[in-house]
Amino acid sequence: MEIIVEDSAEAAGETGSRAVIDALASRPDPVLGLATGSSPEHLYASLARASAEARFDPRRVTAFALDEYLGLDPAHPQSYRSVVDREVTRPLGLDPARVHVLDGGARNADAECRAYERAIQAAGGVDIQILGIGANGHIGFNEPGSSFQSRTRRQRLDERTRRDNARFFGGRIEDVPQECLTQGIGTIREARQIVLVASGAGKAEAVSAMIQGPVGEHCPATALRSHPSVLVLLDREAASQVR
């Protein structure tokens, strides 16, 4: 695990976008793994600038989002399908036909998850996966207690996660779905490279647990410690409990 502490979240995003550009540049069929939420905002903004300045070629990139709320209409502005369209696909200039998001409206959630695993395999696997980290140590929506071998599946969201994400639903926790579909920890760990971005004091405890706490299912992000290529990009607040 390589850990870089930057002066600001913007600088961390800039460094993250350079890692993504480098990882994808040499690949004939580049595959990018997408996180949603606040953490990668600066990384995506920086990639969008690189795309506009022709320092990043988005045309051949295939992308897979990590997770999606279950039972939320894909057209809902806070579905990850909508968020990815708005914050990633359009600003970066990705081909929408190559951007995959789990279908939170699927009638058969298990079949949807199996098909997603097959699609990732068929694309050749993920070259570089962008991750955030939940305040409870989750990656994707793999909540504490998730097996490190888990695959893409249906999950119940922790109360803590629903509270944290209520800000995207007008502050109304009752509007945050109870369940989701998420790539598993085993799925995420198959990405050839991982770049995890965290900023703000609210992430300090989870970041500390990920980097220097005991490895175990109580903190899903500790599964990354045995991955051969993980870059952790922090601002000073997120790094404040790292010794």
Residue 13 within binding range of ligand F6R, rule CB under 6 A: no
- Piece of the chain touching ligand F6R by CB under 6 A; list 23-31, 85-93, 137-145, 218-226: 137-145
Residue of 87, 100, 136, 142 marked active site? 136
Interface residue with ligand F6R, options 33, 58, 137, 140 (CB under 6 A): 140
- Least Å distance, CB 143 to ligand F6R, is 10
Q: How far apart are CA 80 and CA 68, in angstroms?
A: 5
Q: Are 187 and 149 in contact (CB under 8 A)?
A: no
Residue placing its CB nearer to ligand F6R in the complex, 109 or 133: 133
Q: Are 8 and 237 in contact (CB under 8 A)?
A: no
Active site residue 138: yes
Interface residue with ligand F6R, options 43, 66, 176, 233 (CB under 6 A): 66
List of residues 6+ apart from 44 with CB closer than 8 A? 13, 17, 87, 88, 91, 92
Question: Looking up tokens 């070259």, which residue turns up?
Answer: 127
Residue placing its CB nearer to ligand F6R in the complex, 39 or 150: 39
Reference 168, options 41, 15, 34; nearest CA is 41
Question: Looking up tokens 């071998």, which residue turns up?
Answer: 149
Q: How far apart are CA 187 and CA 151, in angstroms?
A: 5
Residue 104 within binding range of ligand F6R, rule CB under 6 A: no
Contacts with ligand F6R, residue ranges (CB under 6 A): 35-39, 66-67, 132-134, 138-141
Q: Which residues are catalytic?
A: 67, 136, 138, 143
